[in-house]
Chains A and B, each alone.
Chain A
Amino acid sequence: MPLIEVLLLALESFRANKMRAGLTMLGMIIGVGAVVLLVSIGNGAKNYITHEFEGMGTNLLVVQPGRTDKKGGFGPPHMGSAKEKLTIGDVDALERQSFNLDAVTGIVFGAGTVKYEDRIVNISVLGANDRLTRIMNITIGQGTFFSADIEYGRRVAVLGFEVARRLFGDADPLGKLVKINDSEHRVIGVTQKSGQSLGLNLDDMAFIPTLSAMRIFNEDKLFGIRARAKAKVSVDDAVAEMTEILKARHHGEEDFSIVTQYSMLQTMNTILGMLTFVLGGIAMISMVVGGIGIMNIMLVSVTERTREIGIRRAVGARRKDVLRQFIVEAIALSLVGGMLGLLGSVFITYVVYWFVPRFDMRAPLWVMLPAFLLSMGTGVIFGVWPARKAARIETIDALRYE
């Protein structure tokens, strides 16, 4: 019997049992839909992170005190021992000796209370030098950032857009004195509204010179060093050069680690890739449940249609014709269900994208193939047993079956 004829038979039987076919397909719709949705979410997260990292420039280098075991690792460095200090001297050395770096700044970071008259905001305070704007892509909306000739310890501050708005409202903040952790700073600039970036909201921060921050936070060392490699320089060369310069200053010891944007991105992508895989795997459980639903219905259908099997066999159907009819029916059920699930979940991802364009979780094109193969495979795996049962029925018994 030609395949097209078998397919028509399957459709005929669905039409006769619309409710049942629909409910059976629902299992597959949910199963495939869940797999596609979770994979899309994982994929969207990956795209989001990549995009954010790229927005910061892929030539960013981060020096952390302490040695992490793995090169390019993202783990916490063990901080604090006197030997492993990164100092402003290191920043100066990198600035002077390096050929590959464009901008270098030390970083001191802490929680700060900013006061103006009777208004108080609790924010993060970042100590850095004038190069920070280039390294972190900060744009100044009003006034200026620190100038190049700034003394590291001058008590000036650049406020994040949101901080300025909350402290001053519509008033002009430039030239005003604010108290940052009880130390007076003159506001020389306000950043442009920029929003969230990798969990760091520049609008909600205040920037002060490095030494000033060390004084406020009572620190004698830097939290880290941020640098930007020159545009045409390979990041690996820059890392090698920085390592040389810093080692020379640290008695030949590599008691720091340099993390590149690229290696961070890679680590992130590995984690997210794994996460996507795990999520997809969990969603596969629902596919199995959908498959069992199909098997269940097919078994019922075989029993119900024992007579039909008898008639078909009597007029000349071979066992393999019966087998094929029931397998095709199972595959058609799972495939139609699976494709509906695919369509539904793709639709959902586009709707989410439409409402939250920042998080692009639109289903990637390549999910179509696995979704198709998965639904078909489910049909085959869970359809074989009922179909074999159907094919094994003896014709004379089937014709007598009530």
Chain B
Amino acid sequence: MALIEISKVTKTFTMGHEQIHALHEVSFEIKEGEFLSIIGPSGSGKSTLMNILGLLDSPTTGTFRLDGRDVSKLSDDERAHQRNQKIGFVFQTFNLLPRVSAVRNVEMPLVYSASYDRSFSKAKIREMAVRALTQVGLADRITHRPNELSGGQRQRVAIARAIVNQPKILFADEPTGNLDSRSGTEILSLFKELNTNGVTVILVTHDPKIASFAKRTIELFDGKISRDLYAAD
């Protein structure tokens, strides 16, 4: 069974009187454990696709099955719940809260998990956050605030936050866009490592060089899939 299964997904935005088709009848499957990149020029619809796959947005038409369940018509609250349990996000601009420590940033998803599961005690949340930070190699930076960390370290904190609740899918939207090439490579290796441990990683980028880290590349153009390639191992 595929982890992600979308068929004939269309997303239409209305701008004034004009209808803009950001996605047009896109269909594909992603299996659990894949390392995939979605590539395309700006305006190709890759961000829209990521928003739909990441349950930040719903498709206008078409179906989306996540983990065997139809999620294309979920309510806002249910989508928040699914995001919390199954999906992690890493953004180009890190999107950390500047005023709180690294560990408090990483704890954030778990604090919301506590609404669904009472076993998430303060102690357990702290323990999980510390473990995630250790996993990304920041065990000694737990109490640092984002402005006391380098760009690469900040992105690691963001990755720790994305994986702290052991999601099935990790989305990374231009994760190396604000990093120097060395830190960028380190971050990409970290994704590879996470993928080896079983997390499905979906990398959204416009840069073919970065996309080449993935095992499979879906290229979008004008709201449609123009290529779907598996890299030769």
Contact = CB atoms under 8 A, between A and B. Distances in A.
A318 B111 CA distance: 12
B99 A12 contact: yes
Interface residues of A, number: 24
A315 B83 contact: yes
Interface in B98-128: 99-100, 108-109, 111-115
Contacts of A315: 83-84, 89, 108-109, 112, 161
Contacts of B81: 316, 318
A316 B91 contact: no
A321 B115 contact: yes
| Chain A binding surface SS class | helix
A2 B56 contact: no
Interface string A1-16: 1100100000011011
A310 interface: yes
A16 B97 CA distance: 11
Contact of B108 (A15, A16, A312): A312
A120 interface: no
Contacts of A396: 51, 56-57
Contact of B97 (A2, A308, A399): A308
Interface in B193-217: none
Interface residues of B, number: 26
Contact of B111 (A1, A13, A311, A313): A1
Interface in A8-40: 12-13, 15-16
Nearest to A308: B97
B115 A1 contact: yes
Interface string A316-337: 1111110000000000000000
B97 A311 contact: yes
A2 B114 contact: yes
Interface string B67-98: 00000000011001101110001010001110
Contacts, number: 64
Contacts of B111: 1, 5
B104 to A, nearest CB: 8
In this complex, the member of A13, A314, A320, A395 whose beta carbon has the largest number of chain B beta carbons within 10 angstroms is A314
B109 A316 contact: yes
A307 interface: yes
B112 A316 contact: yes
Contacts of A314: 54, 56, 83, 89, 95
Contacts of B95: 307, 310-311, 314, 399
Contacts of A13: 99
A144 B91 CA distance: 99
A310 B99 CA distance: 16
Nearest to A311: B95
Interface of B: 51, 54, 56-57, 76-77, 80-81, 83-85, 89, 91, 95-97, 99-100, 108-109, 111-115, 161
- The 7 A-B pairs at the shortest CB distance, nearest first, are namely A316-B84, A315-B109, A316-B112, A16-B99, A318-B80, A318-B77, A311-B95
Given A311-B97, A321-B112, 19 more contacts: A5-B114, A16-B99, A310-B95, A311-B95, A311-B108, A312-B108, A312-B112, A313-B80, A314-B54, A314-B56, A315-B83, A315-B112, A316-B84, A316-B112, A319-B77, A396-B56, A396-B57, A399-B56, A399-B95
